[in-house]
Amino acid sequence: MKKSILLAACFVLGLQTTAQVTKVDEIKKSLETTNKDTVAWTHSGVLSLGTNGGFLHNWAAGGELASMQVNGIFSGRLDRLDHRDIWSNNLDMTYGLTYNYSTGFVPRKTDDRIDFTSKYGKLIDTARNFYFTGLFNFKSQFTKGYDYSLQNWDTLPTSNFFSPAFFTTAIGMEYRRGSDVTLFLSPVAARMVVADKVYTLRSPEGAFGVPFGKTSVFQMGAYFSGRYTYNITKNIVYKTRLDLYANYLAKDTKDSAGLVIKKDNPGNLNILFDNLFSWKISKYFNVTLGATIMYDNNIPYSDTYTDNTGAVVKKDEPGAALGWVQLKQVFTFGIGYKF
């Protein structure tokens, strides 16, 4: 009799536990598409680490004798819901290196990015999906960057950690539909761009929007940031993001003689369009495909450079037709974790 009572109790407890887990899972799932008055932490993300390589010997078609490429992608979100308040955080990081026999296996960077956004919003009574929100965003990179098309590329880095670095703070309105759709708009967004003097002293125009010989510049403008996550299937996720920034203080840059050396105005929007597909093909392996398009009037492009002899040389670059548009495409197959 005692054994029967014990088994019945265990059975009921098991049902309750299963029901509780199912209820928690259902709540977390529903928070992706709807706003609820609750207290909870929610999170999601993708981590992918991949590598590929090749080896050739007496190969008639030719090619790189030996090569290896490694890269990593992390895209994560962590939200805190507290009734009418929400604190959301997004972190995107990428890094990649390639090693080739023809260059002595000296690593060359193929990807490098740090992008962190934190927002705190308070729900407005008149509309269940609108929040009064404050935002902070930080962008930079991990290590030095180089233009490998130059003959002396290793002596002339084009960027570094915190050079440039972009800090943006803004207050505005945000439309949220769960965690899958967020649209933030601010008419008052302050941005600080910082860079080392080693870069801003190279040109009369300065670098990254920082004036000649300075280490920082202050901007004030309008800012829009939209994010959308779509679960195509249970194992395939698509994430996209569009950021637009208009600097109210943008103006032409002039030299000491008063001649315009760089044109600019508030209509020159800074654009970031980010896309990431993640396919979980097994428990520990996934495929990620990313494409990022950027435009910044303060980061110009030239299809020529001056070599050590002072001669002007045309760059041998397949993407020269894109002009000032910045484009990055990454593909990773390897160890992956979705959470």
Closest CA to 296 of 319, 320, 271: 271
d(CA 107, CA 102): 11
For 26, phi then psi, to 5°, come to -65, -40
Considering the entire predicted model, what is its pTM? 0.87
d(CA 233, CA 338): 13
b/e string for 306-334 if b means 16 or more Cβ within 10 A?
eeeeeeeeeeeeeeeeeeeeeebebebbb
Contact 162, 197 (CB under 8 A): no
- Supply the pLDDT for residue 13: 39
d(CA 192, CA 194): 6
At 290-319, the pLDDT tens digits run 999 999 998 888 777 666 666 777 777 777
pLDDT tens sequence for the chain (339 residues): 444 444 444 443 343 433 333 444 555 566 777 887 789 999 989 999 998 888 987 888 888 899 999 999 999 999 999 988 999 999 999 999 999 999 999 999 999 999 999 999 999 976 679 999 999 999 999 999 998 878 788 988 999 999 999 999 999 999 998 889 999 999 999 999 999 999 999 888 899 999 999 999 999 999 999 999 999 998 999 999 999 999 999 988 877 677 887 888 999 999 999 999 999 998 889 999 999 999 999 888 877 766 666 677 777 777 777 888 999 988 888 898 887
- Supply the pLDDT for residue 139: 98
- Supply the pLDDT for residue 26: 57
What is the CB-side half-sphere exposure of residue 176 using CA atoms within 13 A? 28
What number of other Cβ atoms are within 10 A of residue 278's Cβ? Answer: 24
- Supply the pLDDT for residue 36: 78
Contact 145, 154 (CB under 8 A): no
- Supply the pLDDT for residue 127: 67
The first and second tokens of residue 300, run together, are 């110009």
- Supply the pLDDT for residue 14: 42
Omega of the bond prior to 164 within 30 degrees of 0, cis? Answer: yes
At 50-65, the pLDDT tens digits run 988 889 878 888 888 9
- Supply the pLDDT for residue 307: 64
d(CA 88, CA 241): 15
- Supply the pLDDT for residue 10: 42
- Supply the pLDDT for residue 12: 39
For 71, phi then psi, to 5°, come to -155, 160
